[in-house]
Amino acid sequence: MVQLKRVLPSLAVMAAIVAAWWAIVAVGGSVVFPTPWQVVTGTAELVRDGTLWRHIGSSLFRVGAGFALAVAVAVPLGLWMGWVKGAYATLNPLFQMLRPISPIAWIPIAILWFGVGDVSPIFLIFISSVFPMVVQTTVGVHTIEKRYLRAAANFGVSRGTLFRQVVIPAVLPQVIVGMRIGLGVAWLVVVAAEMIALRSGLGYLIMDSRNAGNRYDLVVAAMVIIGMIGLLLDGLMRLLEGLKSVRWRYAH
Amino acid sequence: MPIRISVKGIGKGFATEQGTLQVVDDFSLDVADGETVAIVGPSGCGKSTLMSIIAGFERPDRGSVGIDGVVQDGPSSRGILISQQGSVFPWLTVQQNLMFGLNGRELAEKKQLADHYAEMVGLKGFENRYPHELSGGMLKRAELARALVVKPEILYMDEPFSALDALLHLRMRNELLRILEQERHTVLLITHDVEEAIHLANRVVVLSPRPTRIQSTFEVPFPHPRRISSAPVQELRTRILRELGVEADST
C-alpha cells in the first residue's frame, strides 16, 4: 500500500503523457506519427515474428561483451593508479583528456579499425564505459580512510591480505558506482553504434523501421523497449549496491 | 617489574608556513609490564601525535621508543592501537574482523579464537553481523576484541571511549578492567577525562600545553574496584584538574 502510494504520482504522469500524446495525434491527424495503440500493436508484431528478441539479444550481447572487457581492464588499472602515485601521475592526464570525447566520435575510427561487424560496437562500448570505471576505482582507492590502512599495518598482515581484505573491499562500493555509470553509458552507446551499418540490434531496428516505409510505430516501440531495458540494467546494478559487504558506504 | 615501554626524549615538529611547529618536546616515560598509565592533557597539546609515535605509526625527530629494550621501527601486532574513531572494518563481519589479524593459522582455530574473544567482550550471537548493524558500544567491544585476539603485550588506547555517552562510557571502563584482570596487558591510555584516567590507571601523567612534555605525574594507589565518588579519589581528581589549570571545586 505504501509502495503503491509512492509510485502512484509517477504512474499518473506517464498516463497523462500517453493521454496527451494520443489526443494530439488524434486531433492533428498525422499519418506518420503513431498513436500509443499503434505502438502496442507494432510491438506485438515484432514479438510475434521473433525479430524483437533477436534485436534485443544482439544489443545485449554487444553491451555484455564490451562492458565485461571494460570491467576487466578498468578495475585492475584503477586499483593500480590509485595505489601507485607514479602510475596516477603518468596516466591520469591522458584519461582526463580522453574521457570527454564522446564515444560517438570514435565511430569512424571503429569502422576503420574493426569494420562493420560486431567488433566495432563492442569497441565503442568498451571505450565509453572504461573511463568512468577507471576514474571511480581510482577515487575509491584514494578515499580509503587512513584509519583502516593503519589498522591493517598494526596487525602486520601480508600484502596479499592487505589487498584482499582491506583495499579491494574498501574500493568495491566505488567500483559498483562506476559500473552503474559505465553500464548506463554503454547502453546509450550501443543504440547509436547500431544505427551505423549493422544488420541487427535495437539501434538498427530504429533506423530500419524508419527507412523501410516510415514505420514510426516500430521506432517508438523500440525506444520504449530501450528505455525499459536500460531501467532493468540499472536495477541489476542497484542489486549489487544492496550486498551486505558494500552497504556501509551507501548507508550514510 | 620489567620495563615494557621505554620512551626516551622524543621530540616532533611539523613544518608550517610560519616555520616549524614543535608539537612534542623531550618526552620521556617508562611503563612497566602490566601497568596502566594514563596520559592526560589539554586538548590540542599533541596527545594523539605522541600516541602515534609511541605506537610506531610516526617517527620522532629526536629520541626513541623501545619495546622490551628493542628500538621500535614501525607498528606491530605486539601493540595494538584503539582510537576514538575506531577502525573496525565495515566490510567484514564481526567474526571476520576478529580473525583479520590472525595470520598463518588454521581457519577452525581462527574461528575458535575469534568466538572466544567475542564472548569475552559480550558480542556472543553477533559474530555474523556487519558493523553497521551494531550500536556504538558494540562497535567498541568489537574493536577491543579484535585487539585482544592477537594477544598483544600492549594496548594503546587513544580516547577509546570518548565518542560514547556517559553511561556507556562508564560501562566500557568497567568491562575493560574486568578484561585486563584476565589478560594482563600493559596499557597506555590517552584521555582528556581525568575521571577515566583515575578509574583505570596506576599512574596518571599530566602533559603541558604544546610543545608537550610531562608536567607532573600522579600515582593512583587505590585498589580495584575503585569508587569514583569516594573522598580520596575525588581529592586526587581535584589535584590533577588543578594541575591542568582547572579549579574543580564547583563541579
Q: Where are the domains of chain B?
A: 1-78+154-251, 87-151
Q: Does B211 touch chain A (CB under 8 A)?
A: no
B156, β-bridge pairs: B81, B188
When pLDDT is averaged across residues B64-86 and rounded to a whole number, the result is 91
CB pair distance less than 8 Å for B89 and A169: yes
Q: What residue of A is the nearest CA neighbor of B58?
A: A150
The per-residue pLDDT for B183 is 84
For residues B42 and B210, what is the distance between their CA atoms, to the nearest angstrom?
Answer: 9
**Across the A/B interface, how many CB contacts are shorter than 8 Å?**
65
Q: What pLDDT, in 10s, does the model give residues A78-128?
A: 999 999 999 999 999 999 999 899 988 998 999 999 988 889 999 999 999
Q: What pLDDT, in 10s, does the model give residues B184-228?
A: 899 999 998 899 999 999 999 999 887 888 889 999 888 888 888
Judging contacts by C-beta atoms under 8 Å, the chain A residues touching residue B81 are 150-151, 154
Using CB atoms and an 8 Å cut-off, which of residues 159-178 of chain A contact chain B?
161, 165-166, 169-170, 172
Tell me the average pLDDT of chain A: 91
Q: Does A246 touch chain B (CB under 8 A)?
A: yes
Q: Does A146 touch chain B (CB under 8 A)?
A: no
Stronger pLDDT, A94 or A249, i.e. the higher one: A94
The per-residue pLDDT for B105 is 83
Alpha-carbon dihedral angle through residues B112, B116, B117, B121, given to the nearest 10 degrees? 150
B22, β-bridge pairs: B13
The CATH superfamily label for domain A35-251 reads: MetI-like (1.10.3720.10)
- Give me the architecture of the B1-78+154-251 domain, per CATH: 3-Layer(aba) Sandwich (3.40)
Q: What residue of B is the nearest CA neighbor of A172?
A: B91
For residues A67 and A123, what is the distance between their CA atoms, to the nearest angstrom?
Answer: 9
| pLDDT confidence band for A251 (50 / 70 / 90) | low
Q: Does B86 touch chain A (CB under 8 A)?
A: yes
* Contact status, residue B179 vs residue B144, Cβ threshold 8 Å: yes
Residue type, B157: M
The per-residue pLDDT for B251 is 47
Q: Does A250 touch chain B (CB under 8 A)?
A: no
Q: Does B57 touch chain A (CB under 8 A)?
A: yes
Is a pLDDT exceeding 90 seen at residue A155? yes
Delimit the domains of chain A by residue range.
35-251
Give the distance from residue A146's alpha carbon to the nearest chain B alpha carbon, in angstroms: 9
The per-residue pLDDT for A30 is 78
Q: How many CA atoms lie within 13 A of B6 on its CB side?
A: 9
Q: What pLDDT, in 10s, does the model give residues B115-166?
A: 999 998 889 999 999 999 998 889 999 999 999 999 999 999 999 888 888 8
Q: What pLDDT, in 10s, does the model give residues A3-45?
A: 788 889 999 999 999 999 999 988 887 778 888 999 999 999 8
Query: Cell 543504440, residue?
Result: A191
CB pair distance less than 8 Å for B130 and A247: yes
Judging contacts by C-beta atoms under 8 Å, the chain A residues touching residue B101 are 154-157
* Contact status, residue A151 vs residue B87, Cβ threshold 8 Å: yes
The per-residue pLDDT for B226 is 86
Whether this model's ipTM surpasses 0.85 comes out as yes
The per-residue pLDDT for B66 is 92
Query: Cell 533506423, residue?
Result: A207
Q: What residue of A is the nearest CA neighbor of B75?
A: A154
Judging contacts by C-beta atoms under 8 Å, the chain B residues touching residue A169 are 89, 91-92
Q: Does B90 touch chain A (CB under 8 A)?
A: yes
